[in-house]
Amino acid sequence: MRLELEEASNWIKLFAKKVEANKSELNELDTAIGDGDHGTNMDRGAKAIVESLSKNDPTNVSDLYKDTAFAMIQKVGGASGPLYGTAFLDMSKAVKNGNIELSDLIQIGTDGIKRRGEADVNMKTMIDVWQPISDVLKSGKLIKKDVKEALDSTEDMVATKGRASYLEEKSKGHIDPGSQSSAYLFDTLVDVLGENN
């Protein structure tokens, strides 16, 4: 399955809305194991995405992902801005000469985050949502339960990357904030695909 421009554009816009609506939730999660700004950071990025898409009105998926990447790199800040930015920039490059399978697209985004963050699965970061979702997409349809399971798996992990890693064992028992914003990204992907994708 390939995500065409209209679906992809709806996806990004829905994600931006979801982030704006859940700004406090993201800040609360980041207050528990970070510095409390993940919602504020992502909300800034979400507003920049909406503004950029309405101004540029991208005519292909590569430009759509590029505009999304630039908005996040320029406006989100923190650790998460460059990470989301790299994911979408790598996705933009991957579809430059023709659209690709959705599962490949999301794996390329995941690999970008791993490279940029020098991180991998089980470190209690957004990768713990991106990688399992890539795997689910490779084997079939994606449903919200898959997203929830990936998100919940971060609760019992000890953080070994990012700000939460300063807490060592005390980082356990909390959902990772970047995984929550990534869960919004994939929940909204299911919204555009439909549960019978």
List interacting residues with Mg ion (CB under 5 A). Answer: 30, 34-35, 37-38
Among 22, 27, 13, 3, residue whose Cα is nearest residue 177: 27
Question: Scanning residues 7 to 46, which ones bind ligand ADP (CB under 6 A)?
Answer: 30, 34-35, 37-38, 41
- Residue 179: name its binding partner from Mg ion, ligand ADP, none (Cβ under 5 to 8 Å by kind): ligand ADP
Binding residues for ligand ADP, total number by CB under 6 A: 23
- Secondary structure (3-state) at 37: coil
Binder of ligand ADP out of 80, 92, 107, 110 (CB under 6 A)? 80
Binder of ligand ADP out of 3, 53, 73, 126 (CB under 6 A)? 126
Residue 45 beta carbon to ligand ADP: minimum distance, rounded to whole angstroms: 9
Q: Is 157 in the site for ligand ADP (CB under 6 A)?
A: no
Q: For residue 179, which phi and psi values (nearest 5 degrees)?
A: -70, -35
Token pair, residue 66, equals 């590029």
Q: Are 69 and 88 in contact (CB under 8 A)?
A: yes
Q: Is 83 in the site for ligand ADP (CB under 6 A)?
A: yes
Q: Are 133 and 103 in contact (CB under 8 A)?
A: no
Token pair, residue 71, equals 């908005």
Binder of ligand ADP out of 45, 58, 78, 85 (CB under 6 A)? 78
In whole angstroms, what is the distance from residue 95 CA to residue 76 CA?
Answer: 24
Binder of ligand ADP out of 174, 178, 185, 190 (CB under 6 A)? 178
